[in-house]
Amino acid sequence: MQKVTTVSQLREQIKQWRKQGLRVAFVPTMGNLHAGHIKLVEKARELADKVVVSIFVNPTQFGEGEDFESYPRTELADQDKLIQAQADLLFLPTVFEVYPNKATTSISVGKLSTLHCGAHRMGHFDGVATVVTKLFNMVQPDIAIFGEKDFQQLAVIRKMVQDLNIAVEIIGVQTERESDGLAMSSRNGYLTEEERSTAPKLYQALRKAQQDVLQGKKFKIIEQEQKTLLEKIGFKIDYFSICKADNLQLASENEEALVILAAAKLGKPRLIDNIFFSK
């Protein structure tokens, strides 16, 4: 696996692959890789000739008081995992390489960025949209692979690509879970032993909510019941919402394609998860 740290090095390698007519897939990450990330790399290998992975902890998507400085950075271990997963190139830029000369341009994806996580993390999705656009411009991939765990992030990126006519196909990959159902996340390492035993109940609440939806129960009742249950066992709920799968607006009972989105703090980490389905 080749490692590069500058945009010029990255573009030189991409240019060589393009001359050979090779198809390029891109997996953007913030590092501290787990099995969920490796699943994205494996999907990229299925769909393209060459796989580029970036590791970049993006400062513009962290708000005041969030964990940018303490976000886990495990570059050596990550490189070993990417070599085993047969990634072709690792792009490992500095903050200055991504944001030279105090760059001030940003991208906002309208109302979609202000819902759910956007309402609780002001400016978060502007930071995501901006850095992903920059990375797309640097890599210029044919395909980009994202996990479905952050369903809203995936929706924001798809909308951004559509609106800006960016020539990249966005592929979502199903959430990778621990054996007890907890969605894999780099932030799960912040959980204490007791919190770790409680954390899977977020996904259990989502599954119970899905079952209640399919049985015809009123959405508001379902949402409130699950919020109350989760709060009783130690979660601090940001939202637990039954939404339209296409635009993430709150859904009515006659909607067919649905996603249930949840975010809650449990101790230090903020956990997010979702479940999407059709009635």
Enzyme catalytic residues: 37
Give strand pairing partners of 257.
278
CA 104, CA 107: separation in Å to the nearest integer?
10
CA 140, CA 25: separation in Å to the nearest integer?
9
CA 260, CA 245: separation in Å to the nearest integer?
9
Cα dihedral 198, 202, 205, 211, rounded to 10, equals -130
User: Going by DSSP bridges, is the β-strand pair 257-265/236-244 parallel, antiparallel, or unpaired?
Assistant: antiparallel
| Cβ pair 35, 173 in contact under 8 A | no
CA 201, CA 182: separation in Å to the nearest integer?
8
Which CA distances in Å does 145 have to 6, 24, 40, 46, 249? 22, 11, 6, 11, 24
* Exposed e or buried b per residue across 148-187, where buried means at least 16 C-beta atoms within 10 angstroms of its C-beta: bbbbbbbbbbebbbeeeebebebbbbebbbbeeebbbbbe
Q: What are the residue ranges of helices labelled H in the chain? A: 7-19, 35-47, 75-84, 95-98, 117-120, 124-139, 151-163, 193-198, 201-214, 219-232
